Amino acid sequence: MMRRHTARHSENLKPKCKATKDMSEPITIARPYSKAAYEVACDHDTVVAWSKALVAIEKWLAGDTARRVVNHPLLTASRIAGIVIGAIDGLDTQMQNFVYLLAANRRVTLIPHIAALFEEYRAQSEKRIDAQVISAMPLSDEQQRSLTETLSRRLNATVVLNCSLDETLLAGAVVHAGRLSIDGSLKARLQKLSDTLNVSAA
């Protein structure tokens, strides 16, 4: 039987700053919830478990069933929270309380933003940077290893590569890692050459 949720169970999960009328952007509204969740996860040494739980809930929310549940006008907040919790395996007490809190405030749909911010806090704490690498052709394991080591040394952080393909680049790659952006694609070099020729002809 599911334990009834009470206010005292989620007291330490409440955002430390109150939402105001000008907090209209979802990411802005999600930030205090995400920060509160991250602090609780750190206090209980469950950061990895929270990351997995938030991702699992985010994936579930993308389904048609979840959208019907969350937007159902006749379902109470407690019932919505119970359905979410029942759909996700392995949620501990703190995680369940967090879902109840979000449901009570009609913020369950913010979980994708909360999850993204949670990962930002985690990356900052672990000194980890996710690097987006877009290349014209797949990078070999050796190329990925070499690029990871180079970026890690330059950024003085642990770098995790997220690789994707874009054949319009023709050759080379584009790298975005934190505030660092490197466009080493053939497409960019051709554009630069074209710009130079246009300036010379002017």
CATH of the domain at 39: 1.10.520.20
End-to-end CA distance of the chain: give it in Å, rounded: 78
- Does pLDDT of 10 surpass 70? no
pLDDT of amino acid 47: 92
Question: Are residues 83 and 139 located together in one domain of the fold?
Answer: no
Higher pLDDT, 19 or 165: 165
172, 159 Cβ separation under 8 angstroms: no
Higher pLDDT, 185 or 163: 163
Question: Are residues 63 and 157 located together in one domain of the fold?
Answer: no
- Does pLDDT of 178 surpass 60? yes
Question: Are residues 27 and 42 located together in one domain of the fold?
Answer: yes
pLDDT of amino acid 194: 65
> 75 lies in a domain?
yes
- pLDDT band for position 177 (50/70/90)? confident
State how far the Cα of 64 lies from the Cα of 62, in Å rounded to an integer.
7
Question: Are residues 139 and 54 located together in one domain of the fold?
Answer: no
> 181 lies in a domain?
yes
The top-scoring range by mean pLDDT among 4-8, 21-25, 69-73, 194-198 is 69-73
> 54 lies in a domain?
yes
State how far the Cα of 195 lies from the Cα of 200, in Å rounded to an integer.
9
pLDDT averaged over every residue in the chain = 83
> 80 lies in a domain?
yes
Determine which helix (DSSP H) or strand (DSSP E) holds 142, and give its type and residue range. Answer: helix 141-155
> 138 lies in a domain?
yes
Which whole number is the average pLDDT over 87-103? 95
Range of the domain at 175: 128-201
Question: Are residues 55 and 136 located together in one domain of the fold?
Answer: no
Question: Are residues 117 and 132 located together in one domain of the fold?
Answer: no
Question: Are residues 138 and 117 located together in one domain of the fold?
Answer: no
State how far the Cα of 82 lies from the Cα of 96, in Å rounded to an integer.
9
pTM: predicted TM-score of the whole model, two decimal places: 0.60
Higher pLDDT, 155 or 111: 111
pLDDT of amino acid 181: 82
What's the number of domains the chain is made of? Answer: 2
Strand partners, 132: 162, 176
- pLDDT band for position 153 (50/70/90)? confident
- pLDDT band for position 193 (50/70/90)? low
189, 195 Cβ separation under 8 angstroms: no
- Count the helix, strand and coil residues of the chain and give each as a percent rounded to the nearest 5: 60, 10, 25
pLDDT of amino acid 185: 78
Question: Are residues 180 and 158 located together in one domain of the fold?
Answer: yes
Question: Are residues 104 and 194 located together in one domain of the fold?
Answer: no
Pairing of strands 173-177, 180-183: antiparallel
What secondary structure letter does DSSP report for 166? -
Distances (CA, A) of 196 to 75, 107, 184, 192: 63, 51, 17, 6
Which whole number is the average pLDDT over 85-113? 95
Higher pLDDT, 80 or 21: 80
Question: Are residues 159 and 138 located together in one domain of the fold?
Answer: yes
